[in-house]
Amino acid sequence: MSVMVKTFRARDARGALAAVKAALGPDAVILSTQEVSGGLFRKGEIEVTAAIAPGLAQPRQPPPVPEQPATAPAPVRHGVARYAPPAATPDAQPVPSVIAEELIALRSAVESMRGQIKQQALASPGEGPRFPEPVMQLYQHLVGRGLDEGLAEDLLRLAAGAHGTEPGALWRAVRELLAERLIPSRAPWMPGPRRTIALIGPTGVGKTTTLAKIAARALIDARLKVALVTVDTYRIGAAEQVARYGSMMNVPTRVAHTEKELARALEFSRSADLVLIDTAGRTRPDDIARQAAMLKGVPDVDLYLCLSAATGARELAASAARYAPLKPTRLIFTKLDEAAGPAALLSALGPVGRPIACVTDGQRVPEDIRALSAPELVDLVIGTFEPPRGAR
């Protein structure tokens, strides 16, 4: 059975289904539907994959049912007519059997379509978009740097549509588009008005070590008075680790188990120029919500979302989406030294499009933390690219 499979995208489900009907007709079978995130370079859409088998283009008609002999009208009681089923005849085929046969045929066709789709996917794995050279070379470079394939495709289509496919112009356009989205901010350790910063994020991204690096840079570079507070009373040894850092830097440290204890710790730290709050790693939405409720009572607190650049594009996007309801004011990307593809961090900017305060790339305190400019962030993310030989 020859099968035609197509994928359609539209702004909403109605538009996508209308496109399916217009292209494949009313007999098309919907194989899958999903919401496609717009990411950095386009708005979100609804994607529908549908198929049509020519053998199912015209569904079978049920066999005609012989005319039934006239029967006396059903008795009427209290003005309501009771239903009297037609008398069965030996030659009449029950309608339920016909429906069952149609369902069996439909299921068989759908399974056949799915099998063909799977075979096609196995025959051409990772085919990706079809770009002319040297656009394809640049696409492979971006994906090799860890950029999500969909984001890479959107970025290149936008850049090529505006500036053409000449290698130099295309590369410059890509850099300009990324510079517009990779927005740096003031380093958290720089002098300025009194601030309270809470580091939030998933477990294992290095929040406590990052807190120590920021505190040390504030003490050494900006000569600020620093205070440390931890509300991470869940992880074994977390409070002791913060206390150890505080002791090494000779800064006051407090542990808070409840909102009242947190308020007292902040009152104790009111003379500090910079108060840094360490929090427990959270992944479940209800735990994140409880953490947000605890921090909500802190006056003028800035939430810095810490994400590990070594976790990959999908994981970064998922983590950013989980913390997006807290409305973090800044982003910190950690563990860049462990990241095989640093461009993956762009996936977090869709759910949380906030400025980047700093990045960390090692365990040394305070050396392995940096605040980068927009061009430096672009260099970090996409590196350098050599156009293919012979390209103008």
> Where are the CATH 3.40.50.300 domain residues in the chain?
195-371
Pairing of strands 301-308, 274-278: unpaired
pLDDT at 123: 41
Does the pTM surpass 0.85? The reply is no
Query: Distance between CA atoms of 265 and 258, rounded to whole angstroms?
Result: 10
**Please, what is the angle between helix 238-249 and helix 207-220, to 10°?**
10
78 Cβ partners below 8 Å, 6+ apart?
none
- Which CATH number does the domain 195-371 belong to among 3.30.110.40, 3.30.1130.10, 3.40.50.620, 3.40.50.300? 3.40.50.300
pLDDT at 392: 46
Give the pLDDT confidence of 197-245 residue by residue, as tens digits.
999 999 889 999 999 999 999 999 999 999 999 987 666 667 788 888 8
Query: Distance between CA atoms of 74 and 106, rounded to whole angstroms?
Result: 39
| DSSP 8-state assignment for residue 59 | P
- Phi/psi of residue 194, each to 5°? -60, 135
pLDDT at 3: 66
pLDDT at 301: 92
Q: What strands, in cross-sheet order, belong to the sheet with 195-200?
A: 253-255, 226-230, 274-278, 195-200, 301-308, 330-334, 356-360, 369-370
| DSSP 8-state assignment for residue 184 | B
Residue type (1 letter), 151: L
Record the tokens describing residue 51, joined without a space. 């198929």
Ranges of the chain with pLDDT below 50: 57-63, 70-95, 117-125, 391-392
| DSSP 8-state assignment for residue 109 | H
pLDDT at 28: 82
Question: How many helices, marked H, and strands, marked E, lie in the chain?
Answer: 11, 13
Total Cβ atoms within 10 A of residue 321: 15
Pairing of strands 4-10, 226-230: unpaired
pLDDT at 182: 92
Query: Distance between CA atoms of 137 and 4, rounded to whole angstroms?
Result: 31
